[in-house]
Chain A
Amino acid sequence: MNHAAHPSTDLEVNAVEKSFADYRAVDRLSFSVNRGSFFSILGPSGCGKTTLLRMIAGFIQPDGGDIRIGGRSMSGVAPNQRPINMVFQQLALFPMMTVGENVAFGLARRGMGKAERLRKAEAMLERVSLGGSAHKKVDALSGGQRQRVAIARSLVLEPTLLLLDEPLGALDLKLREHMKIELKQLQAAFGTTFVYITHDQSEALVLSDLVGVMNKGRFEQLGTPQSLYYDPATPFVAGFVGANNRIAGRVDAMASGLATLTTAEGWTLEARTKGDVTVGQAVLAYVRPEAAVLARDPHQLPGCRRSHSGRVDSVLFDGANSAVLIQESQSKVEFRIALPQTGQFSDLVPGETIHFAFDGERAVCFAAGATA
């Protein structure tokens, strides 16, 4: 990764590490975030992402490495002196103050006069569509409004960097979908660099310019949402980002980057190889549910591809995200296939036999046991 200071880099993390007792939370991690971009750190709980964020915010001191914000090293700089602000997981709005006082809190700490800071807070609330709410109590607001107050409270200080610690976690699904769009629009409108941590891959994919997928204190992959989804670098990323069918097998043959593999039960399929894979090696293959096409008659499947068949186990209706779970005939392995959105195959019933095929180029396989 590129460690050189760059004028348009707002955050640089260089070989930062942190251990708690015998547990390594963040393991010599390096990355940089460009000015004005939306950067997400995606990982399961316990992967070290919260520790990393708290080190950037200054609440935890790293054991080693350096964090530079806006080109300035942050070692020995207290949280209240850093040019960053944070949106907390539970928002942490001050219940003893009104909405306006919450937004004006940071301005008051900079010594701004009362009239001016309340005017600025009101203008800021206006920008997040909360004009006229300054006098309200925090608990009189809805979840989504509170979210906007928390962001307004930080952005009014015009920070170099805004850190967001799973701010949508406490909201219900409908509101979360809505706030996702709002967050993206706010970030675009303000142009502030956002560093966002989440365990929700959909949030990371929808919102980010770049995503670091974190596992066991390291980045498994750093890339655009598209590259994480279509070209995962490790089995962890393939399994964590988006839905995926995982099939364990052994490589029979290799041809121009495409491996033919067979499972222990004798089901043969094709997948593009990633990393070092040799003939005879145990591999893990990942196939996206939407990569496969269905057909009742095997002759209707695209001719160039290997065709497979299975028994319909269950139909998972979820509007546009509907899928069918199939038990592959040979291996009895469960395989998930997205139903076409044209409504075709909406009449599938459990027990029916169905044929399917997928392009080996859209499946990927890794040497089993490989991590990075």
Chain B
Amino acid sequence: MTDAGPLWMRRLLLGLLLAPALLWLFLLIVLPHLDLALVSFRERVAPREYVTSLAQYRTFFIEPLYWQIFVRTAILSVIATAVTLVVAFPVAWTIAKIARGRSAALLFMVCLIPFWVSETVRTLGWMILLRESGVMPALLVKLGLVASPPELLYHDATILVGLVYTSLLFMMVPLVSSLESLDNALIEAAYDLGASGFTVLRTIVIPHAAPGITAGCIVVFMLTLGNYLTPNLLGGTSSQWFTEQIYNQFITRFNWEQGAAFGFLLLALSTGMVWLGLKASGQRFADVMQRA
């Protein structure tokens, strides 16, 4: 169809086909970010009077609370990503290499089912299970492991559990697709040449699945870093997630300038971490995104 007609017509057609996506990108992503960038670089000196300054960014570095929360969010996100990878890998391996046909599809469905429910409801479900008067503490008491029901909510571990649970599917999809493309003969050949199971994993499986692993890690890390609901509900006031700081600045304090600056710092953090991750694993962004 596109072969017919002169070049300008084909260009026009291509432009029209891409128009919705480009408009979406420009109006909902580029434009708001440009505006936020401008907001983050101004300072209110008097009501309705602003000057351009780096004051917002200066505040972040001067106030230890902000950058401590920032670093804490980054570290917990890295841990959550790593745990997600470790938990998702055996499941993805089972689906891609061990289960056959219908059972593989069924297993995938089982992993998908929790996502039919909204994140809020899922997280509230965790709260019902873990709160002091909830199911898990009662079970622990009944089993005689503890004397009185412990509070399982509002710990870092609880936040991690919630984040891993929410992220699992996003890690599994690229993992399954990259493991499926691994030729079983390569695994057998490595065994045949004397490799142990661990060596096969280290020298054959992981190098082959590296783009999928990197893609899954990038997606999960970004989702985790930018997650607001799960840390807030499961961690309560002690969660100290950086997104909460952004929320506070915008909504509680009406300090849009500070909130915008925090937003850009978070963007810089996720960009920086993704770049580091790609560098460390020796992957190229284009290869990785084909897997995601």
Interface residues of A (CB under 8 A from B): 57, 59, 78-81, 84-86, 88-90, 92-97, 105-106, 109-110, 153-154, 157
A92's partner among B185, B195, B196, B203 (CB-CB below 8 A) is B185
Given the interface pairs A96-B204, A96-B207, A96-B208, the reply to whether A90 lies near B185 with Cβ below 8 Å is: yes
Q: Which residues of A contact B208 (CB under 8 A)?
A: 95-96
Between A and B, 23 residue pairs with Cβ closer than 8 Å are A57-B188, A79-B188, A80-B192, A80-B193, A80-B194, A85-B192, A88-B188, A88-B189, A89-B185, A90-B183, A92-B189, A93-B189, A94-B190, A94-B203, A94-B204, A96-B204, A96-B207, A96-B208, A97-B203, A105-B193, A105-B203, A109-B193, A110-B194
B188 to chain A, nearest CB (A): 6
CB of A86 within 8 A of CB of B194, answer no
B59: Cβ under 8 A from any A Cβ: no
Q: Which residues of A contact B106 (CB under 8 A)?
A: none
* Beta-carbon nearest neighbor of A84 in chain B: B192
Interface residues of B (CB under 8 A from A): 183, 185-186, 188-196, 199, 203-204, 207-208
Q: Which residues of A contact B189 (CB under 8 A)?
A: 86, 88, 92-94
Q: Which residues of A contact B186 (CB under 8 A)?
A: 92, 94
Contacts between chains A and B (CB distance < 8 A), count: 59
B59 to chain A, nearest CB (A): 48
B194's partner among A93, A95, A96, A157 (CB-CB below 8 A) is A157
Greatest chain A CB density within 10 A among B191, B195, B196 is at B191
CB of A85 within 8 A of CB of B193, answer yes
Q: Which residues of A contact B194 (CB under 8 A)?
A: 80-81, 106, 109-110, 157
CB of B199 within 8 A of CB of A109, answer yes
Q: Which residues of B contact A97 (CB under 8 A)?
A: 203
CB of A59 within 8 A of CB of B188, answer yes
Q: Which residues of B contact A109 (CB under 8 A)?
A: 193-196, 199
Q: Which residues of A contact B199 (CB under 8 A)?
A: 109
Give me the 7 closest cross-chain CB pairs, A-B, nearest first: A106-B193, A109-B194, A92-B189, A92-B185, A96-B207, A79-B191, A88-B185
B193's partner among A78, A90, A157 (CB-CB below 8 A) is A157
Given the interface pairs A88-B189, A94-B189, the reply to whether A80 lies near B183 with Cβ below 8 Å is: no
Greatest chain A CB density within 10 A among B188, B191, B194, B195 is at B194
Cα-based distance from A154 to B189 in the complex (angstroms): 10
Q: Which residues of B contact A79 (CB under 8 A)?
A: 188, 191-192
Cα-based distance from A57 to B199 in the complex (angstroms): 19
B182 to chain A, nearest CB (A): 10
Cα-based distance from A359 to B208 in the complex (angstroms): 61
Q: Which residues of A contact B195 (CB under 8 A)?
A: 80, 105, 109
* Beta-carbon nearest neighbor of A89 in chain B: B185
B211 to chain A, nearest CB (A): 11
CB of A80 within 8 A of CB of B185, answer no
* Beta-carbon nearest neighbor of B206 in chain A: A96
CB of B192 within 8 A of CB of A57, answer yes
B192's partner among A86, A90, A96 (CB-CB below 8 A) is A86
* Beta-carbon nearest neighbor of B187 in chain A: A92
Cα-based distance from A105 to B192 in the complex (angstroms): 11
Cα-based distance from A109 to B196 in the complex (angstroms): 8
Q: Which residues of A contact B190 (CB under 8 A)?
A: 94, 105
A196 to chain B, nearest CB (A): 16
B17 to chain A, nearest CB (A): 35
B86 to chain A, nearest CB (A): 22
CB of B191 within 8 A of CB of A80, answer yes
Cα-based distance from A39 to B77 in the complex (angstroms): 58
A120 to chain B, nearest CB (A): 14
